[in-house]
Amino acid sequence: MAEFDPDQLFRRYVQRRDVGALGELFDGAAPQLARVAWHLVHDAAEVEDLVQATFLTALDSAEKFDARRPVMPWLLGILANHARNARRTAARDSGLRVLPRLEPPALHG
């Protein structure tokens, strides 16, 4: 079995649109990304969401990626940004209060 080389796999995807290379990259990188995500969020469903969001962002930004740099730190940075944004959203949403339902005033007539 060949050694996992995320840089080479991502370059193959970017240069040739090799979806097989992308699949290998996902299979090889996802466990490491998930371990880091777990340390950030401690929620299995959110870990899965963060890993998927990381790869979607990487695919959207693939053409902008500097292939001279290693891909794993880039992916980990994307993951960290998604986790930070999720925490901000959760903090903002948890600050919302549910107001009691108001009944219309009784009409006297």
pLDDT in tens, 33-54: 999 999 999 999 999 999 999 9
Question: Tokens standing for 94?
Answer: 């948890």
Average pLDDT over residues 10-21: 95
Question: What's this model's pTM, rounded to 2 decimal places?
Answer: 0.81
Q: Measured between alpha carbons, how far is 31 from 28 in angstroms, rounded to an integer?
A: 7
* Inter-residue contact 101 to 38 (CB < 8 Å): no
Band (67; pLDDT cuts 50, 70, 90): confident
For residue 103, report the phi and psi dihedrals to the nearest 5 degrees: -95, 140
Q: What is the pLDDT of residue 70?
A: 97
- Comparing C-alpha atoms, which of 48, 40, 42, 45 is closest to residue 77? 40
Band (90; pLDDT cuts 50, 70, 90): confident
